[in-house]
């Protein structure tokens, strides 16, 4: 993985985590929390959509998959916490 790819991956993760934080509780989780939630969400979203045969094209598709994955991840965390 090149440095450029890693930076894009981290930026997509941060953006996805921030957006999912805004959607679920009204604010983000801080920079590190956003990146972690977004990265886990990107992996989860990519895995789930691949199982369904849906492929993301371009940066916008990756962000959408990551946000949906992050929302699912946050829902699972809250479900487990209860």
Q: What is the pLDDT along the chain (82 residues), one digit of tens a residue?
A: 788 888 888 888 888 888 888 888 766 677 788 788 888 988 898 899 999 999 888 889 989 999 999 999 888 887 887 7
Is residue 28 a contact partner of residue 35, using CB atoms and an 8 Å limit? no
Cβ atoms < 10 Å from Cβ of 46 = 17
Q: Which domain holds residue 23?
A: 3-81
Residues 48, 30: Cα–Cα separation, whole Å:
26
Residues 64, 42: Cα–Cα separation, whole Å:
9
Residue 28 pLDDT: 64
Count structural domains, the chain.
Answer: 1
Residues 38, 20: Cα–Cα separation, whole Å:
8
């Amino acid at each position: 993985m090149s440095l450029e790819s890693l930076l894009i991956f981290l930026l997509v993760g941060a953006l996805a985590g921030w957006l999912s934080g805004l959607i679920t509780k009204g604010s983000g989780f801080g920079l590190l929390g956003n990146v972690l939630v977004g990265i886990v969400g990107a992996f989860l979203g990519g895995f789930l959509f691949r199982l369904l045969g849906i492929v993301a094209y371009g940066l916008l598709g990756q962000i959408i998959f990551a946000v949906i994955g992050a929302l699912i991840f946050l829902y699972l965390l809250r479900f487990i916490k209860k």
